[in-house]
Structure 1
Amino acid sequence: MADQLIQRFDPLFSTEASMIPPASNVDATVFAAVPLQLYIETKDKRYLDIGQQMADKQWTLPDNNNKATAKAFADNGYSWHTRLWIDDMFMITAAQAQAYRATGDNKYIDRAAKEMVMYLDSLQQPNGLFYHAPDVPFFWGRGDGWMAAGMAELLRSLPKDNEYRARIMKGYQTMMASLLKYQGESGMWHQLIDDPASWEETSATDENAEIHDNDRQYYLDRKRITGDMHGQAPVIWCATALIRKE
């Protein structure tokens, strides 16, 4: 399977180079996690060049970006991709943590940790769960899953002496304790975690990951997809965690 992944990626160095997404937002830049993993496994520097460049661009404000919010975040040491949507804390963290694992350069894990603390302080509520965004006060199932996965990935590699580790661990443990209280008898969570009237679903599907003037009905109306990769991926994450443990 590793060989198949390498073979599928190889055209991105030539005939399919245009398929590598520009580092314009978190959804595009999370792609960096793939070539960085391939570098970790193969030590082929071509993969490192792609992945590291994308991870660096998450923290390098383009000269033509005149958005005041992006500049403010960049000036204060945060990613210019910052939106304060819970989705971001998997997308940003995955790229930066992988860059740290591939290079050993602390700047990548330090960036991710600082960013995570800002999201914790901005979005985590007293019950341990996370609003979708500061102005969207709903505990969206998949979105909270992004936070859970992002914190786990970060803590897996965050050095013990990192200044942000204790804060992130506290936020993670608080969330895990809260999630246990909302888990349904089937073992699943609801599309809106604290709303038992909303449907159970493995990924809490949101087709475009877009935020509008969301209300409760917005989440309830999302299409339910059988075989959604957002639900399959956590099974793969779990399997790889078990392999690492062995």
Structure 2
Amino acid sequence: MIHIRRNAQLIVFGLVVVFAGFTSADPNVFSPDYIKATLKKAVDWQLKHPKHKLTDWTNGAFYSGVFAAYETTRSPEILDSLMAMGERNKWQPGARYDHADDIAICQTYINLYRLKKDRRMIQATIDTVQKMSRVPGKEVANHGLTWWWCDALFMGPPVLSQLGKTLNDPSYYVLNDSLYKQTYKLLYNQDEHLFARDATYLINAAGEGKKESNGKKIFWSRGNGWVMGGLVQLLNELPKNHPTRNWYVTIFKQMSERLISLQQADGLWRSSLLDPDAYPGGEASGSGFDCYALAWGINQGILDKKTYLPAVQKAWVALNTLVSPEGRVGWVQPIGADPRRNFSADSWEVYGTGAFLLAGSEVIKLKLK
């Protein structure tokens, strides 16, 4: 434990040294030209370094960020890459009709459909979601509910709400409400205002269950980042008069307030939210999703600008120090279901890039003066 804490101190010191070249008032980091150029660079690097099957959930998160980068930059090259991805996939989701991971890529299909109006781009998505609504699958059989892990709240709800809005069919909103509330009831901690990753991380009435080295409950940074990013995309689609909209907004506000209290001095969040001293270095993917969500909340007037803007500014400055000159987003925790220590400046994953792209797409909209 001594070695871990010592490493964490050294890494934080190193990040502080890096940050010495930036301040929240630095016009370069927050200038539209800088942000657009940085997003393009990150997209370009990641597209040149593919890692997973295109329908994989990892790419669902990445291409969500790529589409946000396209909306920000209006780059024809980025749009071409998005269309090429869809054509290579033949606009199909993954194989498991009842697993949220396998429809995450459909977020991008629907966004592209809105530009091109070609029904074949979303028909397989519609068919898959319709089957999920009618036919209980392995997830329900094995876990008792469809979205049994908190990551699913980024993968699934945006797709259902997008379909509801795109097709003008409120049944998709109703389905989403039902599935979301099941996950919320199981995993949301009313005291901490954070989501457990899944039921294996819950503490029972006797106080038994998985805990961190400091004795606190395990709340995974990227897991809660998934939820925050998913809430943004869900709320972007829900009608203003939807009966459960305020319920989602309340969750968003509660989590936002808790997360800024857990942000570290360097502007990033550690992979374990309640035991940051035991985990070395800030983590890019969870921090990227949090920056994205908090910036969006400010831009929408949901979060108080005076309270939350400093946190977003610190996070964006910090995130930019994790991007290499070539555009690689480093310090990304590898694939897993809980906080990890086995990552470094050279650790990258496509979802880390996606989170960074989403963050930039909202930071650029902030009115800093």
- For the residue of structure 1 that corresponds to 2:239, the secondary structure is coil
Relative contact order, higher structure (CA 8 A, sep 6+) = 2
**Alpha carbons 2:268, 2:284 under 8 Å: kept:** yes
**Matched pairs, number:** 225
1:22 aligns with 2:95: yes
Structure 2 counterparts to residues 104-115 of structure 1, below 5 A: 104-115=168-179
Which residue is 2:119 aligned to? 45
Q: Does 1:2 align with 2:75?
A: no
Match 1:61 to one of 92, 115, 135? 135
Tell me the equivalent position of 2:316: none
Please name the residue that 1:133 is paired with: 198
| Paired residues of 1:130 and 1:144 also in contact (CA < 8 A) | yes
Provide the residue aligned with 1:34 in structure 2.
108
- In the aligned structure 1, how far is the partner of 2:131 from the partner of 2:366? 33
**Which residue in 2 is equivalent to 1:213?**
none
1:73-125 residue CA offsets vs partner (Å, 9 max, x unmatched)? 4xxxxxxx332x11111111122122223212112222223322332232222
Name which of structure 1's ranges 43-52 and 198-207 shifts more when overlaid on structure 2: 198-207
Q: Which residue, out of 185, 191, 194, partners 1:121?
A: 185
Query: How far apart in 2 are the matches of 1:156 and 1:20?
Result: 22
Whole-Å separation in 2 of the counterparts to 1:206 and 1:61: 35
Mapped contact 1:96–1:109 kept (Cα < 8 A): yes
Equivalence for 1:87: 151
3-state SS, counterpart of residue 160 of structure 1: coil
Indicate if the aligned counterparts of 2:221 and 2:270 stay in contact, CA closer than 8 A: yes
Q: Gaps (5+ residues) in structure 2?
A: 1-77, 203-217, 287-331
CA contact (8 A) 1:35 1:50 kept: no
Aligned partner (choices 203, 214, 226) of residue 347 of structure 2: 226
Seen in structure 2, the aligned counterparts of structure 1 residues 31 and 119 have a Cα distance that, compared at 3 Å, is same
Task: Give the deviation of 1:147 after TM superposition.
Answer: 0.8
Relative to 1, partners in 2 of residues 1:196 and 1:111: Cα closer, same or farther, differing over 3 Å? same
Deviation at 1:181, TM superposition (A): 0.4
In structure 1, distance between residues paired with 2:101 and 2:361: 23
TM-score, structure 2 length as denominator?
Answer: 0.54
Alignment pair present for 1:178 and 2:258? yes
Mapped partners of 1:47, 1:120: distance in 2 = 31
Q: 1:139 to 1:158 in 2, by over 3 A?
A: same
Contact 1:35 1:48 in 2 (8 A): yes
**Counterparts of 1:144-159 in structure 2 under 5 Å?**
144-159=224-239
Cα deviation code 1:28-60 (max 9, x no counterpart):
121221221221110011102122223323323
Q: Counterpart of 1:194?
A: 274
Q: Which has the larger radius of gyration?
A: 2
Q: Contact between 1:116 and 1:168, CA under 8 Å: does it hold in 2?
A: no
Distance 1:167 1:20, change over 3 A: closer
Shift of 1:178: 0.4
Native 8 Å contact 2:334 2:343 kept in 1: yes
1:235 maps to what in 2? Answer: 356
Per-residue deviation, 1:67: 6.1
* Inter-partner Cα distance in structure 1 for 2:363 and 2:340: 34
Provide the rounded CA distance (Å) in 1 between the counterparts of 2:139 and 2:252: 35
Any unmatched runs of 5+ in structure 1? Answer: 74-80, 211-217
> Are the structure 2 counterparts of residues 236 and 4 from structure 1 closer, same or farther at C-alpha, using a change threshold of 3 Å?
same
Report the residue type matching 2:246 in the other structure: A
- Aligned Cα root-mean-square deviation (Å): 2.9
| TM-score, normalization by structure 1 | 0.78
**Deviation per residue, 1:219-242 (Å, 9 max, x gap):** 334444533222221222234446
